[in-house]
Amino acid sequence: MAREELTRLTSHAGGPNCDDDDCPNVYRTRSGSLVVQGNVSSAFTPPAGEGLVEIPEHVLREAARALGW
C-alpha cells in the first residue's frame, strides 16, 4: 500500500522539527483500519508479521479528534 492511498489524521504531531516523512503519525486506510508510524520499539518481540512502534500520546489524541471520537 502506498502512502498516497492513506488519509493522514495527524499534522506534524511530532513537533516543529518534523517534516512530512519522519514524524510519528496516524493514518486511516480505505477499509477504515489505522496505520501508525513511529519509532521502532523493542519492548518485547511481537509475533511474525507484526511490529511495535512507539508514539507520543498527543499523536493518538490528535488522531482521535480527527476521527470525531
Which residue shows C-alpha cell 496516524? 26
> Residues 28-57: pLDDT tens digits?
999 999 999 999 999 999 999 999 999 999
Residue 19: pLDDT over 70: no
More confident residue, 38 or 20: 38
Sequence-distant (6+) residues with CB within 8 A of 37 are 23, 24, 25, 26, 27, 53, 55
Domain residue spans in the chain? 3-67
Residue 68 identity:
G
* pLDDT, average across residues 19-36: 87
